[in-house]
């Protein structure tokens, strides 16, 4: 089974959704046969490379939300994150455009490290006040995953993988995605938002048999007819 997940590194619910989906996957019988593919998405592509202010000021100024409302929203999100073992720190969060970080993730994908890189960037952004728009930070993350510093710098100094990021966003729009996280199971089932673990569990259990229908294997002796049904048993 293939699961595509559209998310933005700058999306607090995306980290929570990642944790909840992983919790459902751990208890799924066929978890070793599920392939997870991360897709890029930007909630605010118009954001400058770095916003001169904190997250509260950004949402207040750019989104027109009163500061008190922003803080109330943060409190709710932090409570939900804590329930998944995450320690969000919005006061230390560095507001930066995520496009470069998404390009970095595509580079990590080529090295088979996209899932680890995604986890590290989300944690760095929301829990440790790291700057996801900083080349030096992305180099540090990449080299920690065994990637070459020179390749990371060369990639980020160019437009490499920019088309891949845009293609991910275009695919999301074609599917009607308007918010993230968004999960697509075998191109049949869509799940919007950081739903409860039980929702992901039900979706996995429902999608699996549809993509893996039961194949009957009877022997040549006709023993497949030796069965009972509502109208009685074969004789």
Domain of 129: which CATH number?
3.40.30.10
pLDDT of residue 228: 62
219 lies in some domain = no
**Secondary structure (3-state) at 104:** helix
CB neighbours of 140 closer than 8 A, spacing ≥ 6? none
53 lies in some domain = yes
DSSP 34: P
pLDDT of residue 222: 53
226 lies in some domain = no
225 lies in some domain = no
pLDDT of residue 93: 97
Domains held by the chain: number: 1
Question: Which residues of the chain, if any, have pLDDT below 70?
Answer: 212-235
How far is residue 8 CA from its own chain's centroid?
8
Query: Which residues constitute the domain of residue 25?
Result: 2-211
Residues 18-39: pLDDT tens digits? 999 999 999 999 999 999 999 9
Beta pairing partners, 190: 184
**Cα(57)–Cα(50) distance, rounded to whole angstroms?**
13
121 lies in some domain = yes
- C-alpha dihedral, 78 to 79 to 82 to 88, nearest 10°: 10
222 lies in some domain = no
Give the H or E element holding residue 110.
helix 99-110
pLDDT of residue 225: 57
**Cα(80)–Cα(86) distance, rounded to whole angstroms?**
9
201 lies in some domain = yes
**Secondary structure (3-state) at 67:** helix
223 lies in some domain = no
pLDDT of residue 211: 74
């Amino acid at each position: 089974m293939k699961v595509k997940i559209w998310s933005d590194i700058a999306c607090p619910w995306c980290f929570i959704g990642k944790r909840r989906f992983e919790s459902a996957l751990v208890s799924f019988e066929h978890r070793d046969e599920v392939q997870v593919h991360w897709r890029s998405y930007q909630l605010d592509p118009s954001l400058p490379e770095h916003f001169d202010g904190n997250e509260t000021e950004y949402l207040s100024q750019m989104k027109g939300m009163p500061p008190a409302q922003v803080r109330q929203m943060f409190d709710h999100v932090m409570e939900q994150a804590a329930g998944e073992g995450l320690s969000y720190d919005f006061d230390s969060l560095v507001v930066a455009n995520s496009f470069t970080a998404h390009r970095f993730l595509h580079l990590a994908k080529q090295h088979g490290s996209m899932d680890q890189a995604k986890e590290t960037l989300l944690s760095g952004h929301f829990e440790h006040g790291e700057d996801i728009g900083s080349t030096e930070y992305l180099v540090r993350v990449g080299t920690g995953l065994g990637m070459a510093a020179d390749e990371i710098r060369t990639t980020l100094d160019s437009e490499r993988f920019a088309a891949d990021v845009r293609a991910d966003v275009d695919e999301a729009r074609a599917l009607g995605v308007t918010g993230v996280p968004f999960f697509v199971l075998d191109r049949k089932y869509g799940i919007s938002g950081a739903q409860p673990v039980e929702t992901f569990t039900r979706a996995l259990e429902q999608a699996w048999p549809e993509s893996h229908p039961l194949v009957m294997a009877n022997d040549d002796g006709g023993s497949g007819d030796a069965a009972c049904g509502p109208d009685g048993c074969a004789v």
